[in-house]
Structure 1
């Protein structure tokens, strides 16, 4: 009995090792394909989800594949992050591991582009240690209670952000806090300041002249490039300390560096 258990454990270990190795080879092949499809300099990180891998490989159907790349340069931006989740992917293993042309079918793509605070800081003159923070209804109400414009109550927190950092004004450094509205315009991120304070979020509102000067600094329209695999941008939000543009695409065929609708 003991020998049987040991033999079974060895077989399970061998299966896991073979499964892992086959998945790694397939992920490497998909990575090279995605580099061409997304137009990257280096191979992105790829993870084929689901276990065991071999049962998916035999059928040529994969439930989901994650593709991720970081520190991408797009125009003035230096550290853009890109993530795509491919769902219901069709790709025979022989094709993936072969030397010939490769073509994948994808039922749905969820794509995101992330702009970190470090990139945003480069676009705002005189600002250091910039942070991107979420904001809620309570914080908006508090800003009004502390002298802010009553229209702040009408802002949807899902479409808003607080930007905080250190500003240099007249040779002096001070903490700056900005409540801004986020808009998605033609696939680009637009930041519209609505409330700016020096000395922290609980400081008194600034005089109108200084407010207008700082609004010009923080009024931005940022082009982070297209979403991966022709996904259509639908949402802009602040999440996890970054600005994120996300969207979807359906029924695609990927191959030879092109993305085409399958016509379904």
Structure 2
């Protein structure tokens, strides 16, 4: 009986040691993956990585991670030659394949990923390349306000616009309606300022834009992807 108690105590101690070692290894891996993502994407903002599943060491042995959650602040993408700041990007990456050893892996690729990118209205206004500021218009719309000169007269209009995603890479903003009040040419001139397409590039390889939703805090864009490069 005493021997059995000793074995139980030893088992508990070894189990505790395993958990500690597993958590230390996990913390180290999360830190290393965050550094690789920063390096790969040339990021200056904070990167947060959370590797799901327990125990972690068995996942390392199989070189397969069930899920990795990534949060990145201040991503700089490009839109037709202009820099577009994505204030926040979060992604869930599933079935991540790791190449190399846990302490010095050479690459990590996720079979599939889902996430959300957020662009502030200030940054969206800058991407529009016009003097018309973009703001939240309520009810899933954005509001674009500005002025044009027509026949020596300054005309100011606010229009509600719909935002959509085209071809998995382009944000499209289109005014639902432009009040013209019978003035010839006013709608065309205002639409030249309010309507725009911006192709977004520079996101992690494998991610594409899925859907855009205006909110009070900015434009939320759903992203999805396959064979997404996590680090390398």
Q: TM-score range by the shorter chain?
A: 0.5 to 0.7
Matches within 5 A, 1:1-264: 18-41=21-44, 44-75=47-78, 76-80=82-86, 81-91=88-98, 95-98=101-104, 102-110=106-114, 113-122=117-126, 123=128, 125-128=130-133, 130-131=135-136, 133-135=138-140, 162-164=141-143, 167=146, 176-180=158-162, 182-185=164-167, 187-196=169-178, 205-207=179-181, 209=183, 210-231=186-207, 233=208, 235-238=210-213, 240=215, 241-244=218-221, 246-250=223-227, 256=232
**Contact 2:134–2:142 (Cα < 8 Å) also in 1:** no
Comparing 19-28 and 30-39, the one that deviates more: 30-39
Query: What's the CA shift string for 1:107-166, capped at 9, x where partnerless?
Result: 22336544331211223534347226553xxxxxxxxxxxxxxxxxxxxxxxxxx11265
CA change 1:96–1:32 in 2 (3 A) is: farther
CA change 1:124–1:229 in 2 (3 A) is: closer
CA change 1:52–1:114 in 2 (3 A) is: same
How many residue pairs match? The answer is 211
CA change 1:208–1:32 in 2 (3 A) is: farther
User: 2:201 aligns to what SS in structure 1?
Assistant: coil
**Contact 1:34–1:43 (Cα < 8 Å) also in 2:** no
- Structure 1 residue 16 displacement after superposition: 6.0
Superposition CA RMSD, Å: 4.1
Gaps in structure 2 of 5+ consecutive residues: 1-10
CA change 1:20–1:191 in 2 (3 A) is: same
TM-score by length of 2: 0.67
User: 2:200 aligns to what SS in structure 1?
Assistant: coil
Distance in 2, Cα, partners of 1:180 & 1:64: 34
